[in-house]
Amino acid sequence: MSRYLTLALGLCLAYNVALATGTATFETIDIDADGQITMDEAKSDPDLFKAFGGLDVDGDGFLTLVEYSAVEANDES
């Protein structure tokens, strides 16, 4: 029973975090789930699209999870 309660609380927490940071996550933006966000995929999040050039540190035209995580780090400050 307490295991399920813990799980439920964990899900609630994750949901609240998702709401607090906006509904977009790397997984939702990465529409084709290839592990990279293209400029086209970034268009679903206007703020991300604007920041794309700055986030794409290696300039390959894709955002990896590592590059994208800079967004989440910035949101916390």
Residue (20 or 46) nearer to Ca ion, CB: 46
Q: What are phi and psi of 27, to 5 degrees?
A: -65, -40
* Smallest distance from Ca ion to CB 33, Å: 7
In the complex, what is the shortest distance from the CB of residue 5 to Ca ion, in angstroms, rounded to a whole number? Answer: 36
**Closer residue to Ca ion, CB minimum distance, 46 or 54:** 54
> What count of residues does the chain have?
77
Which residues make up the interface to Ca ion (CB under 5 A)?
30, 32, 34, 36, 56, 58, 60, 62
H/E element holding 63? Answer: strand 62-63
What are the structure tokens assigned to 35, written together?
Answer: 């592990």
Least distance between Ca ion and beta carbon 3 (Å): 35
Among the listed residues 34, 74, 71, the one whose alpha carbon sits nearest the alpha carbon of residue 52: 71
For Ca ion, give the closer residue by CB, 19 or 66: 66
